[in-house]
Structure 1
C-alpha cells in the first residue's frame, strides 16, 4: 500500500470525525477563572430617564475685507458651523444603561470668521445602547424601538449655524452689518427601557432558587438569601459553549399571583421577560403541590398578553436535595406530563450539565424554526 493511499484514508477519517463532532450538541465550558471577591454587587440598569440637549449652532461673523489696493473690498463674514446631534445607536457592545449619563449634551458648532471662513460642524454624540431598547418620550409614547443592531434614533437635533454678513449682501445692500446667532439645539427628555436583555430568562416564585441557579451556572454574583424578593433588579450571567456560542441568562425578580395587575413587582417583572428568547421555569420541588406554581406562572403570562405564554420554555424542579422533594417530583411529572421535565439541585450542582445541554438544544431548535419561517 502506498503512502498516498494511507494519507488519504487518514484525512477521510479525520473529516468524518470532525463532522460527527460538529453535528453533536455543543457542551458548555466551565469557567476556569475564579469569581471576584469584591462584596459590592453589580446591578443591571434596565430603565433610565435621560435628558438630551443638541449642540448650539455657531454664530455668524460680521467682517469686511480690506486689501492693500481696495480698503472697501466688501463683506466677508463666514457662517457658523452646525451643532451636533444626540443619537442613540443599538449595539452588541453594551448590555445595560450603566454607562449612560442622565444628561447628554452634544458639542457646539464653531463660529464663523473673516475671509468667508465657515465655522466647523460639530461631531454628533452617539450613545450606544443595548439591542432591544425602547425609547419613550415625556408623554410615555414609544418613539423608537431599536430591535436590531446599528439602528439609530436622533434624540435631539443640533442647531443650524448662523449666517455671516456675506450672506445678506444684495444689490441694494452691499455692506450689511448684521449676522445671525446660532440657535440652540433641541432639549428633549426620554425614558429608556430595555426589553431584549437575555436569551434565557429564569421565571419562578420568590425564593425558588433562581439566584442560586444563576450563581452555579455562570460567573454572576447575585444576592442569595433564604427569604423572598431577594432579587429586586435583574442580574445577568453568560454561558459559553465549546463552539464559541454564548447564551445570556437573566435572573428575573420573583413573580407572585396577580402580577399582571401590578401586584408585587408586577409589570416591572413581566416586561423583563417580554423579549427573552427562552423561558426557564424554576419550580420549588420542596414545597407542597409544586405543579400549582407552574399553573399560576402560566396564568400570569397569559393575562399579561402578547405572545409571552407561547415562548419556548423549559421546566426544572429545583431543590431536589431536600428529602421531601422526591415524592413531590413524581407527582409533578404526573401532573405536567412534560417529557423534558428535569430535576436539579442548584445548591449541590446536581444535573446542571444536563440542564445546560437542554437549554442549548431548545435554543437551537427555536433559531432553526425562525430561519425556516423567514425563508418561507
Structure 2
C-alpha cells in the first residue's frame, strides 16, 4: 500500500485542525505497519581497495600496567638555613589497562577514569587491538615536596559481548552491557620520597622508594556475537560470491578451495532501517570437530552467529550429503547449534546439473530450501526476504528473554 505523503503548515495560511492532523498521522502509521521490509540497493560505489578486511573475533593480548614513579632524595637549602631538612617528593602512580564496552551513540562518553587511548567508536571486532598493550608510567618525584604526576589510564574499547579469558582459559570477565569495564592490569604505586621517612630518630634520611612495577598478564579476548546470519558450507560452495552479491563486502573470490581463511562480515540494509550482519565463514570439511582443516577455529566462528544458513553447491553429485556432514560436525561440537534457525540455500542454479538436483534436495530435507545463483543474481530477492524474517524472529526472541530476566 502506498504511504501518503502528508504535509502540515500549522503557522502558515493553509492551517488544518488538530483532529485532521491526528487522523492523517494515524492513517500513515497504519499504512507503514502493513509495509513489508525490502532490502535497499546501495548507490554508493564499492571501494577499490586491494586489501580485503576480515572480521577478527578472537585475539590474544599481553597487557602491562604502568610503572610507578620513583621517590626523590632531596634536601632543602635556604640562604638562611642550609640544613632545612629533606624535601623529596613521592612518585606518581602508574596507569591501569582497562577494557571498556564501546558506546553505540557515536558520541564520546564521559568516563570516570582519565583516558589516554581510545579506539574508534562503535567497534565491531578486535581488529584494532595490538598484541601488547602497555600503560604509561608515573612521573618521578621532585624536590620541594613536589609529587610526581600519576599516569592516565589506558582505556581500550571492545565490542559489546566480549568475553575475557585468562591464559589458562578461565573466564574472568564478561562485558555484555554497554559501559562496563574490566581492569586488565593495574599500574604500580609510586615510591615515597625521603621526606616520608622522617622520624624522631632519623631527621635526615637519605633513602627513597622505587616505584612498583605494574602487573603483566595475558588474556584471550573473544567476541560472543559476530553476526546475525552465518554462511556455512563446504569450500568453494560460493559463500564469498553470495556475500558480495547481497552486501558491500569484498571478500577474496577465487576458483580454488579454502579461499576464505578468516571470516568476512557484510551488512544488508533494509528500508525499515534494520541492518542485518551476514558472516562469510571459512569452509568446513568432514572431521572438523576433530580439528581437521580449520577445525575448532571454524566451529567457534559458527557458534557466534544467531542463525545458520547452509550453502550447498547444487552442481555437485548428491548435495544433500554435504548438508548431513555439516549438521553432523556442528552437532559434535555443540548440539545447541542445531537448535538455532536454519535455512538451506542451493547455489549455482545457473548450471544444468543444479536444476536436476534441486527437487531431489527438497525431498531429502525438512528444512526450507531456496535455490539461488549468486553469480547471476537469480532469486536473491527472495533470499533477502527470508533473511529479514529470520532476523525479526531472533530480535523478538531476544526481547522476550530480556523481559523474562
Report if TM-score (shorter chain) is over 0.5.
Answer: yes
Determine whether 1:16 maps to 2:27: yes
Q: Does 1:239 align with 2:268?
A: yes
Alpha-carbon distance, 1:68 to partner: 5.5
1:10: how far off? 6.3
1:90 is aligned, of 101, 112, 119, to 101
Structure 2 residues not aligned, in runs of 5+: 1-13, 105-121
Structure 2 equivalent of residue 53 of structure 1: 64
Aligned 8 A contact 1:195 1:271 in 2: no
Match of 1:284 in 2: 313
**Equivalent residue number for residue 51 of structure 2:** 40
**Alignment counterpart, residue 378 of structure 2, candidates 328, 346, 350:** 350
> Which residue of 286, 310, 333 corresponds with 1:257?
286
Higher alpha-carbon deviation: 204-213 or 224-233: 224-233
Change (3 A) 1:19 1:71: farther
- How far off is 1:221 after superposition? 0.9
Please say which of residues 159-168 and 23-32 is displaced more in the overlay: 23-32
CA contact (8 A) 1:195 1:273 kept: no
Separation in structure 1 between the aligned mates of residue 160 and residue 399 of structure 2, nearest angstrom: 20
Distance 1:231-1:117 versus aligned 2 partners, 3 A rule: same
Q: Which residue of 1 aligns with 2:108?
A: none
Give me the CA root mean square deviation.
Answer: 2.3
Aligned twin of 1:374: 402
Give the match for residue 153 of structure 1.
Answer: 182
Residue matched to 1:226: 255
Which residue of 331, 337, 345 corresponds with 2:360?
331
**Contact 1:132–1:197 (8 Å) recurs in 2:** no
**Alpha-carbon distance in 1 for matches of 2:17, 2:180:** 54
Out of 308, 328, 333, the position equivalent to 1:299 is 328
Contact 1:25 1:361 in 2 (8 A): no
Contact 2:276 2:391 in 1 (8 A): no
Residue deviations 1:63-91, cap 9 Å, x none? 33345655444333221110011222232
**Range moving further from structure 2, 113-122 or 252-261:** 113-122
Which stretch has the larger CA shift, 303-312 or 104-113? 303-312
Alpha-carbon distance between aligned partners in 2 of 1:261 and 1:152, rounded to the nearest angstrom? 36
Residue 115 of structure 1: aligned partner: 144
TM-score, normalising length from structure 1? 0.91
CA contact (8 A) 1:197 1:250 kept: yes
Q: Deviations over 1:299-342 (max 9, x none)?
A: 1111102522212222222111122222322222222233x432
Separation in structure 1 between the aligned mates of residue 16 and residue 128 of structure 2, nearest angstrom: 60
Conserved 8 A contact 1:83-1:161: yes
In structure 1, C-alpha distance between the alignment counterparts of 2:185 and 2:17, rounded to whole Å: 69
Query: Secondary structure of the equivalent of 1:188?
Result: strand
Cα distance in 2, alignment partners of residues 191 and 63 from structure 1: 45
- Is contact 2:100-2:181 (8 Å) kept? yes
In the aligned structure 1, how far is the partner of 2:306 from the partner of 2:82? 74
Bigger Cα displacement from structure 2, 203-212 vs 284-293: 284-293
Task: Say if 1:275 and 1:40 are closer, same or farther in 2 by CA, change over 3 A.
Answer: closer
- SS of 2:303's equivalent in the other structure is coil
TM-score normalised over the length of structure 2:
0.85
Separation in 2 of the partners of 1:156 and 1:70?
46
Pick one of 191, 202, 205 that aligns with 1:162: 191
Deviating 4+ runs (over 6 angstroms): 3-7
319-328 vs 210-219, which moves further: 319-328
Distance 1:289 1:336 in 2: 12
Note the C-alpha offset of 1:231: 1.0
**Distance in 2 between residues matched to 1:274 and 1:295, nearest whole Å:** 18
Q: What CA distance in whole angstroms lies between the structure 2 residues aligned with 1:121 and 1:22?
A: 57
**Residues 1:74 and 1:235: Cα distance change in structure 2 (over 3 Å):** same
The whole-number CA distance in structure 2 between the counterparts of 1:243 and 1:365 is 15
